[in-house]
Amino acid sequence: MDTQRLILVLVFSMSLVFLWDAWQRQHQPATVPSAQTQQAPGTVQVPAPSTPAVAPAGGAASGALPGANVPSATAGAPLRDTVKVATDMVKAEIDPVGGEIVRLELLKSKDPLDPNKNFVLLSPNHRYAAQSGLIGPGLPNHKTLYTPQASEYALKDGQDRLDVRLETTTPEGVKAAKVLTFHRGSYVIDVTQEIANPTQTPIAAHGYFQFTRDSKPPPGDQAMVQTFTGAAVYTEADKYQKVSFSDIEKGKTPYPKTADNGWIGLVQHYFVSAWLPHENLPREFYTRKLDGDLYSAGVIVPIAAAPGATSAVTVPLYSGPQEQENLAKLAPGLDLAVDYGWLTIIAAPLFWILKLLHGWLGNWGLAIIGLTVLIKLVFFPLSAASYKSMAKMKQVAPRLQKIREQYGDDRAKLNQAMMELYKTEKINPLGGCLPIVVQIPVFIALYWVLLGSVELRYAPFYGWIRDLSAPDPWFVLPTLMMISMIVQTRMSPTPPDPVQAKVMMIMPLAFGVMFFFFPAGLVLYWLVNNLLSIAQQWQITRMMGEAKPAAGKR
């Protein structure tokens, strides 16, 4: 099998996988609500730490969140009068019931369906909220009515932080407060649970911090391969663990339950929301399937208040884009939310080089071209060997055809004659295969880099291409790539079988149409790679052609 056929077979196989995955995503049946529980929609139960790392005076936390059988105030319901918060990075809405962040608009990210609007990550329409509360007798939870100090907050010029304080008092006189601190230039929101204990009895409690979300993929996800949407847990011992919604529904917990480090969050294409407890703070992670199409993922940490004292625990919340450099600074392993799968070891260096080139060239499209050239240079010797093999095969094609006509259906003599010809001409018919196979993981890794890097989201190139993460709106790049594939096919040896030859001619058209739906950045990579391959193949074929007369004297 020559190199050109191998390339087409591999690309065709990958394309079938992509198309099958996309078809399944569009036609998969709706999630059937679990019948194991009889809670009201939106109900959330939070398990107590099975082995609390810190045991306050009152003992371990309760096994279920107080008020867990009260329907959620926001899941699938219209918003009440919320507390409005505006900073230089986000616009947030906080429900006084529970102090939930029920809406979070990212001012630096555009909506995938309408670039004139900002992207809304947490949303009541998508049933996605950040919730927190206390576990303990009579203590407030995410269904308790809090009293805000104001209805609107705005970060003013010269102000670096903004505190939103909500308060409530239990029947026993315990004062509890929830303070959400927003920071200038940051997507981090510090969520603090306070307990002021005026009684003579020590309070042993736990704070929980969780996300509640439906299982629907993010809107506007145009990837040919469905990106991961679900929970993720990271600890130093077990590293990054993905937990799909189906795993949560089945009760699978591949992550450690307790630790003194790590984070838990929800991941979707380009964005992540994560609770980031401080290092050395005992914690327990949990995930839970709720009634309806709702799931929760969260963390529990201890908090204790001595008689007459005030105690507090703070857990930072990050909810924003998957900008790898910023994520790595916030918490260990948080940058792994940008999931390149099993090819991370290749994809991560590729992204680092791509970002370095962007810093020099100032345009992500030019950076992709530069990266393509570098990859081509690295694999130049392997590609040269492949094209030399193809050139030799093209030279001996007429002689191979005569051998086939001479021996007809005698497969044994035919194969023997062909092997003698290959030996005489010093041709390895599989010589071009290994170089291509070696490059396949790099191509796939680069695909995931271009697919998963939020830095390319709405990144313009030139002219009509205003978003390298979206398909070319005028199909110019796919058309040029299709033409380049046709040129490559014509430069390759023609298969002796007429049917196979026709299939080889149709393949570029089929793949070209498929690439109409690929991100423009990926098509740009393939186009530039094809053009460089054509130039290299033409030069090698020309050199081999000049050497042909000497070989023909034998």
CA distance 368 to 365: 5
CA distance 168 to 178: 9
CA distance 355 to 341: 20
pLDDT at residue 96, as a whole number:
97
- Find out whether 384 and 377 touch, Cβ atoms under 8 Å: no
In the block, tokens 């990266």 appear at 371
Average pLDDT per block of 10 residues along the chain, 554 residues long: 46 49 40 34 38 36 39 47 97 97 97 92 92 95 96 96 97 95 98 96 96 89 71 96 96 94 96 97 97 96 96 98 95 93 88 96 96 91 74 76 78 80 73 66 85 90 92 93 88 64 75 83 91 86 60 42
- Residue 211 bridge partners (DSSP): 130, 297
Nearest to 522 by CA among 478, 460, 483: 478
Angstrom distances, CA of residue 476 to CA of 8, 151, 221, 480: 22, 51, 22, 6
Distance of CA 207 to the CA centre of its chain: 29
Angstrom distances, CA of residue 101 to CA of 92, 117, 123, 130: 7, 20, 9, 5
Angstrom distances, CA of residue 468 to CA of 208, 227, 465, 472: 40, 17, 7, 8
Q: To which H or E segment does residue 10 belong? A: helix 3-27
pLDDT at residue 227, as a whole number:
82
- Per-position DSSP letters for 347-390, written without gaps between them: HHHHHHHHHHHHHHHS-HHHHHHHHHHHHHHHTHHHHHHHHHHH
Q: Can you tell me whether residue 85 is helix, strand or coil?
A: strand
Phi first, then psi, for residue 183 (nearest 5°) are: -125, 145
Nearest to 523 by CA among 455, 474, 454: 474
Angstrom distances, CA of residue 530 to CA of 9, 49, 376: 16, 56, 10
pLDDT at residue 217, as a whole number:
87
Nearest to 79 by CA among 103, 99, 104: 103
The tokens describing 84, both together, are: 């409005």
The tokens describing 278, both together, are: 């401080």
Nearest to 210 by CA among 140, 142, 280, 292: 142
The tokens describing 339, both together, are: 């999931």
- Find out whether 146 and 255 touch, Cβ atoms under 8 Å: no
pLDDT at residue 423, as a whole number:
79
Nearest to 520 by CA among 450, 454, 453, 439: 450
Q: Report strand pairing: 175-183 vs 161-169.
A: antiparallel
Model pTM greater than 0.85?
Answer: no
Nearest to 121 by CA among 241, 211, 28: 211
The tokens describing 384, both together, are: 């040269």
Distance of CA 550 to the CA centre of its chain: 55
pLDDT at residue 455, as a whole number:
92
Phi first, then psi, for residue 263 (nearest 5°) are: -145, 165
Q: Can you tell me whether residue 102 is helix, strand or coil?
A: strand
The tokens describing 123, both together, are: 């949303």
pLDDT at residue 544, as a whole number:
65
CA distance 255 to 233: 6
pLDDT at residue 11, as a whole number:
54
Q: Can you tell me whether residue 106 is helix, strand or coil?
A: strand
pLDDT at residue 56, as a whole number:
35
- Residue 168 bridge partners (DSSP): 176
pLDDT at residue 126, as a whole number:
79
- Find out whether 229 and 217 touch, Cβ atoms under 8 Å: yes
Domains observed in the chain: 3-17+347-547 (no CATH), 82-218+268-338 (2.70.98.90)
CA distance 167 to 335: 35
CA atoms within 13 A on the CB side of 30: 6
- Residue 206 bridge partners (DSSP): 135, 302
pLDDT at residue 125, as a whole number:
85
Residues 391-450 have pLDDT tens digits of 777 777 788 778 877 877 777 877 788 788 777 877 766 655 666 677 788 888 888 888
Sheet of strand 263-268: strand arrangement: 147-148, 161-169, 175-183, 188-196, 310-321, 271-275, 263-268, 230-235, 239-244
The CA radius of gyration of the chain, in Å to the nearest whole number, is 30
In the block, tokens 């505190």 appear at 163
CA distance 431 to 422: 11
Q: Can you tell me whether residue 412 is helix, strand or coil?
A: helix
CA distance 372 to 483: 19
